[in-house]
Amino acid sequence: MLTLPVFAWSRPKTVDEAMRVLAASPGECLIVAGGTDAVPNLKHRLHEPKRLVHLGGIEELRGIRVTDAGLEVGALVTLTELAAHPYVREHYAGVADAAEHVASPQIRNMGTVGGNLCLDTRCTYYNQTFFWREALGFCLKKDGTRCHVVPQGKRCVAAHSSDVAPVWIALGAQVEIATPGADGASGAVTRRLLPVEAFFVGDGVHNNVLVPGELVTRVLVPASSLGVRTAYRKLRPRAAIDFPMLSVAVAARGDASRIEALRVVVSALGAKPRTLGGLDAIAVGKPHDAALAEAVGAVAFKQCHPLSNVPYDTDWRHDMVPVFVKRAAPGALGVDA
């Protein structure tokens, strides 16, 4: 059977304590919340940390709050809690729907909002056992220097695979990050906020801006986004368990007779979600009709290029981009798909 590697274990009670633990062994810690992704990855030796820092004891990271500023979702909120929350369901249906599309009920009971946001990128040549990867020759994401998806590629293209992140991006949500003080362990911890869209970077080895010692603490959806409707569509071979082969999040203002704003985010392509460009010119001020749906689908097809990082027919996934965009859009405009 596959075994876990040997590691030390910490279970801090506060964010400050977690930050001290992280600062004490810079770059050698793996942060774990639900463990649903970390544990199989540890068994595959995709992570080889000296220490696991388990966030489960940090009460302040729990809970969903609605304030004048907007919706605050703690990093330790489980995907089940997020999907079931009445306010989320009422105002951010696409967020709840995306959370419900993750894996299976058991995994959603354990998996957290923070973990989902920080989900490691996935690739058919990476998410394999050590034995398998060694047999093939290691890749540049872990232990090697070459890319098996894009020969001669210099940059890892492992796929961003979070279901919820595309919806956060479409909504304009922000992520709060705890950052160590200038002198590490002894300095005062600060918090910085940035748009979820800016959280991700196009490098599959490490596809977000977090530096060692940093920690995601919350996701914030500004109150200004109230009135934006969201919808999520996920391409997966099975009705449960699978990571996305393709995912589409749509956020819109207005309705079918007049679109006031439209954002479409497509993911499970490369290392970061792709926000479609050029939609304002096509969509804003227009009614949502067949011609518009075609036009938006055509933009999506042109801008999105699935790779063989995800082990499923690449051409077909490309063909499905406009189909899924067309199918997601009505939900964000208050019409039945």
Partner 1 sequence: MLPAVTDIDAALAHPEWQVNEKAGEGNISKHVRLEFGDVDGALAAADHVVEGDYWYEGSTHAPLEPHCCVAEFDATGLLTVWSSTQVAHYLHRDLAKVLNLPTQRVRVIQPVVGGGFGGKSEPFSLEFAAAKLSMVTGRPVKILYTREEVFYAHRGRHPMRLRYRTGMNADGMIAGTDALVQLDGGAYSSFGLVTTYYSGQLLTAPYALPAYRFDSTRLFTNKPACGPKRGHGSVQPRFAFECQLDKLSERAGIDPIDVRRRNFIGERTKTVNGMRVTSNGFLECLDAVERESGWAGKFRRMPYGRGIGVAGSMYISGTNYCIYPNEMPQSAVQLRLDRSGRATVMSGCSDIGQGVESVLAYIVCEELGLDLRDVRVVAGDTDLTPVDLGAYSSRETFMVGNACLDAARHLRIKIAQTLAERWGVSPGEIVLADGVACATSDPAQFAISVKEAFQRAEARHGTLGSVGWYQSPKLGGEYRGGTIGASPAYSFTAHVAEVDCDPETGFVAVKHIWVAHDCGRALNPVTVEGQMEGSAYMGFGEALLETQRYKDAAPGHAFGLHQGPSLLDYRMPTSLDTPELHALIVESVDPEGPYGAKEAGEGPLHPSIPAIANAIYDALGVRCDALPFDPPSVARLLRGGDARANWERARAQVGGPR
Shortest Cβ 83–partner 1 spacing (Å) = 16
Q: CB–CB of 232/101 below 8 Å?
A: yes
- Per-residue binder mask for partner 1 (CB under 8 A), 238-277, x = binder: xxxxx-----------------------------------
Instruction: State which residue, 183 or 315, has the beta carbon closest to partner 1.
Output: 315
Q: Which of 124, 179, 275, 303 binds partner 1 (CB under 8 A)?
A: 124
Shortest Cβ 148–partner 1 spacing (Å) = 6
Shortest Cβ 267–partner 1 spacing (Å) = 18
Rounded Cα distance between 14 and 107, Å, is 25
What's the half-sphere exposure (Cβ side, CA atoms, 13 Å) at 48? 6
Antiparallel, parallel or unpaired: β 215-222 and 190-195: unpaired
Q: Looking at residue 184, what DSSP letter applies?
A: B
Q: Which helix (H) or strand (E) holds 108?
A: helix 105-110
Antiparallel, parallel or unpaired: β 64-67 and 51-54: unpaired
Question: Of 290-319, which residues contact partner 1 (CB under 8 A)?
Answer: 308, 311-313, 315-316, 319
- Largest pairwise CA distance in the chain: 60
Instruction: State which residue, 128 or 179, has the beta carbon closest to partner 1.
Output: 128
Shortest Cβ 99–partner 1 spacing (Å) = 17
- Per-residue binder mask for partner 1 (CB under 8 A), 142-181, x = binder: ------xx-x------------------------------
125 interacts with partner 1 by CB under 8 A: yes
Q: Which of 38, 46, 64, 320 binds partner 1 (CB under 8 A)?
A: 320
Q: Which of 136, 193, 281, 335 binds partner 1 (CB under 8 A)?
A: 136
Instruction: State which residue, 178 or 292, has the beta carbon closest to partner 1.
Output: 292
Question: Of 206-235, which residues contact partner 1 (CB under 8 A)?
Answer: none
Tell me the sheet residues that pair with 195: 174
Q: CB–CB of 64/82 below 8 Å?
A: yes
Instruction: State which residue, 159 or 228, has the beta carbon closest to partner 1.
Output: 159
Q: Which of 132, 194, 258, 305 binds partner 1 (CB under 8 A)?
A: 132
- Token couple for 51: 């220490």
Instruction: State which residue, 25 or 308, has the beta carbon closest to partner 1.
Output: 308
Taking CB under 8 A as the binding criterion, the range among 122-130, 161-169, 224-232, 260-268 that sits at the site for partner 1 is: 122-130
Taking CB under 8 A as the binding criterion, the range among 13-21, 45-53, 125-133, 262-270 that sits at the site for partner 1 is: 125-133
- Token couple for 298: 């055509």
200 interacts with partner 1 by CB under 8 A: no
- Token couple for 265: 């985010």
Shortest Cβ 2–partner 1 spacing (Å) = 5
- Token couple for 34: 């639900």
Q: Cα dist. 196→48, 101, 244, 330 in Å?
A: 27, 20, 19, 24
Rounded Cα distance between 160 and 268, Å, is 5
- Token couple for 228: 């934006």
3-state class of 251 per DSSP?
A: strand
CB atoms within 10 A of CB 7: 15
Instruction: State which residue, 148 or 272, has the beta carbon closest to partner 1.
Output: 148
336 interacts with partner 1 by CB under 8 A: no
Q: Cα dist. 208→214, 272, 299, 336 in Å?
A: 11, 8, 26, 35
Would you tell me which residues interact with partner 1 (CB under 8 A)? 1-2, 104, 124-125, 127-129, 131-132, 135-137, 148-149, 151, 237-242, 308, 311-313, 315-316, 319-320, 323
